[in-house]
């Protein structure tokens, strides 16, 4: 059983993860419309990963006998259409998610809630990967040159990404 404060905080995080999914899906739509199908595909996979993150917390609350409370998901807030700026937004967004995940860890440690510490450790590690992915894409943009040819190559490269999480929510468990 987790505390009411922790349950509220995890429900808030479920909303943040679903917002992340919504944000990346909206970015994917813009990139697809602009003809960058590979980048759109990368962002759609990111959408699935964010839903995985949300559902892992969702199942955790249910496993703990806590109530899942789904709130309204905000409209995705981004204006960038240029690819470099778009991925700078992705990186800044992931840094904000990292801070939020660290807040949960701090609360879990304060409450000596070791089950949530263990769960949240998975997210702490995942955020290192999330920030690294965005940084590597920004580095690639620098190396390839922020040119039509460079972005065309990046588009092909990012289109090769495959889904690294279960595609069905039924396969997602909080503690796994
Ligand atoms: Fe769920 Fe991209 O962090």
Which ligand 1 atom is nearest residue 93's CA?
2
Could you give all domains of the chain from N- to C-terminal order, each with its CATH number? Answer: 4-169 (1.20.1260.10)
Angle at the Cα of 29 from the Cα atoms of 27 and 34, rounded to 5 degrees: 95
| Rounded Cα–Cα distance for residues 58 and 120 (Å) | 13
Residues 156-169 have a mean pLDDT of 87
What is the separation, in whole angstroms, between the first and last Cα of the chain? 17
Q: Model confidence over 23-33: pLDDT tens digits?
A: 999 999 999 99
Examine the pLDDT at 35 and tell me if it is beyond 70: yes
Ligand 1 first shell, C-beta below 6 A: 17, 20, 50, 53, 94, 97, 130
Contact indicator for 89, 80 with CB cutoff of 8 Å: yes
User: How many A from CA of 113 to the centre of ligand 1?
Assistant: 22
Residue range 94-150, pLDDT digits in tens: 999 999 999 999 999 999 999 999 999 999 999 999 999 999 999 999 988 778 888
* Residue owning the nearest CA to atom 1 of ligand 1: 50
pLDDT at position 140 is 93
Atom of ligand 1 nearest to the CA of 94: 2
pTM: 0.94
Ligand 1 mean position, distance from CA 88 (Å): 15
User: What is the per-residue pLDDT for 146?
Assistant: 75
> Can you tell me the mean pLDDT for 60-81?
95
């Amino acid at each position: 059983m987790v505390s009411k404060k922790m349950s509220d905080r995890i429900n808030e995080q479920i909303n943040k993860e679903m917002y992340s999914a919504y944000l990346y899906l909206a970015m994917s739509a813009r990139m697809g419309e602009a003809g960058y199908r590979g980048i759109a595909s990368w962002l759609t996979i990111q959408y699935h990963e964010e839903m995985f993150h949300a559902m892992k917390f969702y199942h955790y609350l249910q496993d703990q006998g806590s109530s899942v409370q789904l709130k309204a998901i905000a409209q995705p807030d981004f204006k960038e259409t240029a690819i470099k700026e778009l991925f700078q937004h992705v990186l800044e967004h992931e840094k904000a998610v990292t801070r939020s995940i660290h807040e949960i860890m701090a609360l879990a440690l304060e409450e000596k809630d070791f089950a949530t510490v263990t769960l949240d450790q998975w997210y702490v590690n995942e955020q290192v990967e999330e920030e690294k992915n965005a940084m590597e894409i920004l580095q690639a943009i620098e190396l390839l040159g922020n040119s039509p040819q460079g972005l065309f190559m990046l588009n092909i490269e990012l289109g090769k990404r495959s889904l690294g999480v279960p595609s069905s929510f039924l396969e997602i468990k909080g503690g796994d």
